[in-house]
């Protein structure tokens, strides 16, 4: 009797094996500096290609891809539940998982294992006093810059021209300090308003980078105080900084001396809030005092932010806050609640420039 054997590549076992091998291989890769650097080099090439292609369309292609993927996944699950189609759809599912995992690691995942920026900054202990002094410096800066920006009819800060901000961010990418390594500024506008802005407002997510299309999505519904700095942050992912707190730090370097005052204010205000957050447990009285010393303009901006958050509270907030936190932790980072790595970078950098 003649029994027909399936070729190996058509078996589930084969593709499950490949997936497992990928997990192991990328894990090993992440431990070898030389190999991580190869992925970083590849990213330098890939980012300009992806950004060039996807910037041709003004809407977020990545968001559409996610929708298709979501529908596809649902379809697969339904087919896998049914006994008749289970085998073939499990096989297809495994192949798809292999492709997605591989492209994610190739396009993005390995960038999390780059040498941390903190290693290129001066060491030494950071005292509470130093943090408080810097907080007061940023309070003053915020007050000054806030006087120079525009307001809506309620006296709340409003961004005048988002495109000008985008242009300046892209321009400033070329002027980042050398200690950050050499990431090429490609000067392509691939900022996209997210197609999920409604959901995003409830989730507390300000923006996100799509590793498959290299697009930077932002929530266009956000209050103006958040908006310019969110753009700077996402653009730093596009440049090749994967870690959240390093995107904040490099985003701050983009905005700190911006000639665009909207960008400058949004950055300084982000820094101020981060410093206050880092102090709130150890120096609650100091934090309270600083907030009381906000200018009346800043107080209105703060109320507008609080109001926005309040209007979008709900179960999604809890859910997304939680998953976001998990995602960050799985990438060897701190959760989204603490800002200490950013503040650490910030203070060390401020120290090095103030000495000069």
Positions touching Zn ion (CB under 5 A) are 244, 247
Residue showing tokens 């995003």: 200
In angstroms, give the least distance from the CB of 237 to Zn ion.
5
Looking up tokens 């939680």 gives 322
Nearer to Zn ion by Cβ, of 210 and 225: the residue is: 210
CB of residue 103 vs Zn ion: minimum separation in angstroms?
A: 19
Query: What Cα–Cα distance (Å) separates residue 112 from each residue in 61, 240, 342?
Result: 24, 10, 16
Helix (H) or strand (E) holding 349: helix 340-355
Least separation, in Å, of the C-beta of 299 and Zn ion?
A: 28
**Which residues have a Cβ under 8 Å from the Cβ of 144 and sit 6 or more positions away?**
none
Q: For tokens 């204010």, what's the residue?
A: 265
**Rounded distance, CA 148 to CA 163, Å?**
19
CB closer to Zn ion, 207 vs 290: 207
Distance CA 344, CA 118 (A): 8
Are the C-beta atoms of residues 324 and 318 closer than 8 Å to each other? no
Q: How far apart are CA 338 and CA 329, in angstroms?
A: 12
Residue among 63 and 244 whose Cβ is closer to Zn ion: 244
Evaluated on CA atoms 172, 175, 181, 183, the torsion sign reads positive
- Whichever of 149 and 240 has its CB closer to Zn ion, that residue is 240
By C-beta, is 139 or 247 nearer to Zn ion? 247
Burial of 157 (0-12, 13-18, 19+ CB in 10 A): buried
Phi, psi of 217, rounded to the nearest 5 degrees:
-90, 140
- Least spacing, CB of residue 63 vs Zn ion, in Å: 16
Residue 236 CB, shortest distance to Zn ion, in Å, is 8
Q: Is 129 exposed, middle or buried (0-12, 13-18, 19+ CB in 10 A)?
A: exposed
- In the complex, least distance from residue 247 CB atom to Zn ion, rounded to whole angstroms: 5
Nearer of residues 237 and 300 to Zn ion, judged by Cβ: 237
- What is the gyration radius of the CA atoms in the chain, in angstroms? 23
CB nearer Zn ion, residue 149 or residue 247: 247
Main-chain dihedrals φ then ψ at residue 282, nearest 5 degrees: -90, -30
- Shortest distance (Å) from residue 58 CB to Zn ion: 22
Q: Which residue's CB is nearer to Zn ion, number 244 or number 301? A: 244
Smallest gap from Cβ 307 to Zn ion, in A, equals 24
């Amino acid at each position: 009797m003649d029994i027909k054997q399936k070729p190996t590549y058509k078996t589930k076992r084969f593709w499950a094996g490949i997936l497992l091998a990928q997990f192991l291989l990328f894990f090993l890769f992440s431990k070898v500096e030389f190999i991580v650097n190869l992925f970083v080099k590849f990213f330098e090439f890939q980012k300009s290609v992806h950004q060039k292609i996807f910037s041709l369309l003004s809407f977020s292609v990545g968001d559409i891809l996610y929708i298709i993927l979501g529908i596809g996944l649902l379809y697969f699950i339904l087919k896998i539940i049914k006994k008749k189609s289970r085998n073939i759809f499990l096989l297809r599912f495994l192949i798809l998982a292999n492709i997605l995992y591989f492209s994610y690691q190739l396009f993005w995942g390995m960038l999390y294992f780059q040498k941390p920026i903190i290693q290129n900054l001066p060491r030494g202990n950071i005292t509470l006093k130093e943090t408080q002094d810097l907080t007061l410096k940023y309070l003053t800066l915020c007050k000054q810059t806030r006087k120079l920006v525009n307001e809506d009819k309620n006296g709340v800060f409003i961004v005048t021209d988002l495109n000008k901000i985008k242009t300046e961010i892209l321009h400033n990418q070329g002027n980042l300090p050398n200690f950050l390594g050499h990431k090429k500024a490609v000067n392509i506008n691939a900022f996209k308003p997210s197609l999920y802005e409604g959901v995003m407002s409830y989730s507390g997510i300000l923006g996100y980078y799509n590793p498959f299309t290299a697009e930077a999505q932002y929530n266009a519904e956000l209050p103006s105080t958040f908006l310019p700095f969110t753009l700077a942050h996402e653009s730093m992912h596009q440049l090749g900084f994967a870690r959240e707190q390093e995107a904040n730090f490099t985003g701050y370097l983009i905005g700190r001396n911006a000639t665009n005052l909207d960008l400058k204010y949004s950055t300084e205000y982000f820094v101020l809030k981060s410093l206050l957050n880092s102090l709130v447990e150890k120096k609650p009285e100091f934090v309270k005092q600083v907030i009381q010393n906000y200018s009346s303009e800043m107080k209105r901006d703060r109320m507008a932010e609080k109001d926005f958050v309040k209007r979008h509270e709900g179960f999604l907030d809890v859910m997304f806050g939680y998953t976001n936190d998990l995602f960050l932790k799985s990438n060897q980072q701190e959760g989204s609640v603490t800002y200490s790595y950013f503040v650490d970078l910030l203070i060390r950098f401020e120290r090095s420039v103030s000495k000069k």
